[in-house]
Every structure is written in structure tokens, then in C-alpha cells.
Amino acid sequence: MNTDIGLSARLERISTDGRYLIVPMDHGITLGPVTGLVDIESTIDGITRGGADAVLTHKGTAPRVHPNKNGKGYIVHVNGSTVIGPDENDKRLTGTVEDALRVGADAVSFHINVGSNYEPDQMTQLADLCSRAADFGVPVLAMSYARGPGIDEQDPEALAHAVRLAEEVGADVVKTAYSGDADSFGRVVEATRLPVVIAGGSRGTDRETVEMVRGTMDAGAAGVSMGRSIFQHENPEAITRAVSAVIHDDADADTALERAGLGIEA
Ligand SMILES: CC(=O)[C@@H](O)[C@H](O)C[C@H](N)C(=O)O
Ligand SMILES: O=CC(=O)COP(=O)(O)O
């Protein structure tokens, strides 16, 4: 049976017209119950009302996601590590494609640290995940970071290598870090035919967040998988609305902040 139809139907559930505003909340494993994740139900309700296309969590949180996601997409993340463990870069498997489907996911995601000591194992696991997901027509979001000893995590050449690796092993969408400006990030986007989305990193000001998203879209990327800048915000719905204005309506930073009721001077 041709699973392409399943793949494209599921990609549409986690995006809008090929643009992605994903809010990952897998950080409960990485960081613990930080701001925004304790009452994850109200965060999910706010960000999906604000214009998120999809939310992303580990499989165990699925029962808290479905009643609050307002019909938006759902991605299950399948590896993790903690900041208090022996090595944060050593992400270990936490689930399978079958687990994700069992809890009602539209897609799966997997984190690889390209350049770390764990890259070889993570690359094999990602390639296997892509093969398994393809059997079911399930999209794979590869969170492909440049991380490891001596690696500059914002170096456009390293990021270009990371996103290209994701395409080569069969992912459908790739997330990586932002290089810091639209010109250099354009080289990252050009390195692959996959839709590229950025991670937000640790929370900045509202203006920094929205300008980073503007630069990302100007570089030709497809959107964001932005966690802490959104779920740690005192008003997750408003900051999602601002980010959505840039991604889905091509707004500039001032317009996006105004439309969301956030101060433009921030
Ligand atoms: C907490 C972080 O530093 C993030 O960049 C994570 O590495 C990315 C991911 N969302 C995770 O928590 O594993
Ligand atoms: O899963 C994590 C991400 O996709 C990015 O999270 P961040 O908090 O925006 O870096």
C-alpha cells in the first residue's frame, strides 16, 4: 500500500500551508518541571489558541495533551537526556513509532547531536526511526543540532551539515539552531530540500524572539519548533500569536508584537 497519502495528510496536521509553528515541550525530561510545564494543560490550551500548528511532548504526557490542544497537531518525541545526568548530549531512546501512534501522534521527533561522541549511535537510531516511520506514513521531525566538543553550535557550516544529514537519513522536516542572522541562515536552508525550522533556545525578550523568527523566515525557512521562548512566557498565548503573525501572515516584528498586544519597545 502507498503510504505517501498518509505522510502528506499527517504533515498537513502539523503545519499550515507548508509553514510550521511547533511548540516542543519535551523539556520536562531535559530540565524537569520548569515554568510553563507544571500546568502543561493550560500552556497547551493557550499556545494552540494563539496559533500553534502542533505541540510536541514525550509519550507519557499524551493524556494531558489531547483534551487541551484545540484540534491542532501532535508530535511525540522519542529520545531524551537530563541536564543532571552524566552527559546531556547522550540522548537515549524513550519510545518508538508504534508508541507514538498508540498515543495518537501525527508525527514523531528525534534529537541528534551532530559532532558529539554519541553521533554514530544517534545517526543509526534516526535512520532506523525514519525507515520504521515510513512503513506507517508517519512524518519524522529530526532535531539536528551541531553539538559536541569543540563545536560552535551556531556555525552555519556545521548547521548546514546537520540539516543535510537529516535529509540523507530520510527525515521529513529538520529543526536546527539559528545561526544568528538571515544571510548566514540562508546557507543552512539551502543545504537541504527538507523544510527547515529553528529551535528558539533559552528565552529572550519578546522583540528578540520575534526578530529571530523574522530572520528565519527571511532566510527561506519553513518556521519554528520553539519551546522555552513560548512556554516560559508569562502569556504563552500572546507570544504564540506574535510568532504566528510572522510565520503565517508574513508580518514584520512591530506588527507582530502589536497584533499580539505585546509592547513594541521590549
Ligand atoms: C534544554 C536545551 O538545551 C534544549 O536545546 C534541548 O537540548 C532541546 C530539546 N528540546 C531537549 O530538551 O532535548
Ligand atoms: O525540542 C526542543 C526544541 O525543539 C527547541 O526548544 P527550545 O527551548 O526552543 O530551544
ipTM value for the complex: 0.95
Q: Residue 160 annotated as binding?
A: no
Active centre residues (catalytic): 26, 145, 175
Would you place residue 37 in the very low, low, confident or very high pLDDT band (cuts 50, 70, 90)? very high
Residue nearest to atom 7 of ligand 1 (CA): 30
- pLDDT for the residue 264: 74
Kindly give the residue spans of alpha helices, DSSP state H, lying in 137-234: 156-168, 182-189, 206-218, 228-231
The share of the chain scoring above pLDDT 70, in percent, equals 98
- pLDDT for the residue 81: 98
H or E element: which one contains 76? Answer: strand 73-77
Mutating to test ligand 1, I would choose from 23, 25, 29, 30 the residue with most ligand atoms within 8 A of its C-beta, which is 30
Mean pLDDT of 50-55: 98
- For residue range 181-227, list pLDDT tens digits in order: 999 999 999 999 999 999 999 999 999 999 999 999 999 999 999 99
* 24 CB within 6 A, ligand 2: yes
Mean pLDDT of 47-74: 98
- pLDDT for the residue 265: 65
- Does domain 3-258 match CATH 3.40.50.2020? no
Q: How far apart (Å, rounded) are the C-alpha atoms in residues 115 and 217?
A: 26
Within 8 A by CB and 6+ apart from 265, the residues are 207
Q: How far apart (Å, rounded) are the C-alpha atoms in residues 45 and 149?
A: 39
Total-model pTM: 0.98
Distance 176 CA to ligand 2 centre (A): 9
Within 8 A by CB and 6+ apart from 63, the residues are none
CA-closest candidate to residue 171, choices 147, 139, 214, 200: 139
Q: Residue 146 annotated as binding?
A: yes
